Structure 1
């Protein structure tokens, strides 16, 4: 009887710890993915987008390689062309677009546009995969696109950021395509192993571009540190944390991280890079995050 009571107490303690730990880990993941835009802002001007993305992909794949090795029997050769395609759509090209945007606009701009991923996932599912989209989700999409228009029309320090906003939105759209492809073609496979395989495939695809555009000038320690953190922390370790949360909370609850990434991205850039938070960014961010919240409620 005492053993049973002790077992119940232990199980209750684990549940309590999990209930406290999960929100902290969600915030930690949002903070990590939010600061990735700061690291791109620091490293992209010295590396250029192609070399920086190659380093990010390769280091992220190395961190996740043990998950792929453990599940290697589930990844036959015939599956790798699909993995390569998804790696290009979901990693190589959007990472490059965000890095290109980071050379031309504050880090907070990329963080705000990244929140459009949720809306584009719904839109791609409707346009190409026959998913239904009701009136509430249609309003959410319109609100999100209005936020993008407000953001693209703004200026920071007198410079137009329209092309950077367009690049960020294109990256978010590709994320939406990639997520739909993963859902339909890679269902049932271990998610962390999928991430390792697609990152490794994307790294191989990017290698010729990275080699031909490798910087000829010396790279400073600050840029190298930012690139290292971008690959190891913001890509490899962040995916590990993400899939751990999905396993514990489910995909729907874990997706709440989407609301926090822009807030952390803007806050990190303001705190560490002294980038201004403009009224345009605040209005656009409110519209986009509000649309994401409305879309999530409509999807439930």
Structure 2
């Protein structure tokens, strides 16, 4: 892996890890629907500008159904579920539950597509589920009203990512940038009507506006550009190693800015989920063994 790719990898993990921090900051004032509608809309605007600069066509008439399916399962529904969960759960717990997406993807493959499972994958599934149980089971957040419903919502969001993964494997081949751009516009259209069912709940401060812009432009728009560049330079397998780094940054940002407590259960739960996810995805640390300086 080139040094520039390694920098992009850690930058991407730091950005996606911060998304749970921004959710926590803004969701109380805006509510889940308005917050996530703003996120996907600003992401769509940002990617539209990039598309003009790069002369990347969207081909909306040809791929609109694909964009709506991908947008629903990869953005609109999981974003909304995470925002609902963010009203109760900490950024640390949210980031770890997010990291279970590959585990849900493997379970979907086993149950729905009758894929054969190796002992390594089975061990990874057990470890992933155990890690979540440790993290959530010993976290004081469960004592709050509605905490279990929030956990189910966040797990449902990760489950949606698992569905999206299988869908993209079998869907028509569309360039990565077009997938990101088109799905954000589709997600905006999907979420817009939901705002009327979930109106703004509080005062909209400058910090809240900044959090929404950060979620849309930084955590969605810029993040997608970094991710697709990683896929182009290092391949999809190496790029997906970001999954293991996101919880680390999610816990760090939550502790640094929201004073979230890092207990033994946080460290053990995060480590167990990361190991389980690595086994499920077949990740090998050899991607980090040789860091090359480009030039």
TM-score of the pair, normalised by structure 1? 0.87
Task: Provide the alpha-carbon RMSD of the alignment.
Answer: 2.1
Contact 1:137 1:298 in 2 (8 A): no
Question: Once the 2 structures are TM-superposed, how far is the Cα of residue 243 of structure 1 from its aligned partner?
Answer: 0.3
Question: Once the 2 structures are TM-superposed, how far is the Cα of residue 259 of structure 1 from its aligned partner?
Answer: 0.9
Question: 1:4-26, CA deviations, whole angstroms, 9 ceiling, x for partnerless residues?
Answer: xxxxxxxxxxxxxx822111110
Q: 2:158 aligns with which of 155, 168, 172?
A: 172
C-alpha separation between the residues in 1 aligned to 2:202 and 2:259? 26
SS in 1 for 2:282: helix
- Which structure 1 segments of 5+ residues have no match? 1-17
Q: What is the 5 A alignment of 1:2-151? A: 19-66=2-49, 70-72=55-57, 74-77=59-62, 79-151=63-135
Which protein is bigger by CA-based radius of gyration? 1
Distance 1:25 1:208, change over 3 A: same
Give the paired residue count: 281
Q: Does 1:185 align with 2:168?
A: no
Match of 1:15 in 2: none
- Which structure 2 segments of 5+ residues have no match? 286-295
SS in 1 for 2:2: helix
Contact 2:90 2:141 in 1 (8 A): no
Question: Once the 2 structures are TM-superposed, how far is the Cα of residue 217 of structure 1 from its aligned partner?
Answer: 4.0
Contact 1:65 1:193 in 2 (8 A): no
SS in 1 for 2:260: coil
C-alpha separation between the residues in 2 aligned to 1:214 and 1:228? 19
TM-score of the pair, normalised by structure 2? 0.88
Distance 1:94 1:216, change over 3 A: closer
C-alpha separation between the residues in 2 aligned to 1:275 and 1:219? 23
Question: Once the 2 structures are TM-superposed, how far is the Cα of residue 291 of structure 1 from its aligned partner?
Answer: 0.2
Contact 1:91 1:198 in 2 (8 A): yes
Match of 2:242 in 1: 257
C-alpha separation between the residues in 1 aligned to 2:255 and 2:283? 33
Question: Once the 2 structures are TM-superposed, how far is the Cα of residue 286 of structure 1 from its aligned partner?
Answer: 1.6
Contact 2:97 2:132 in 1 (8 A): yes
C-alpha separation between the residues in 1 aligned to 2:143 and 2:167? 37
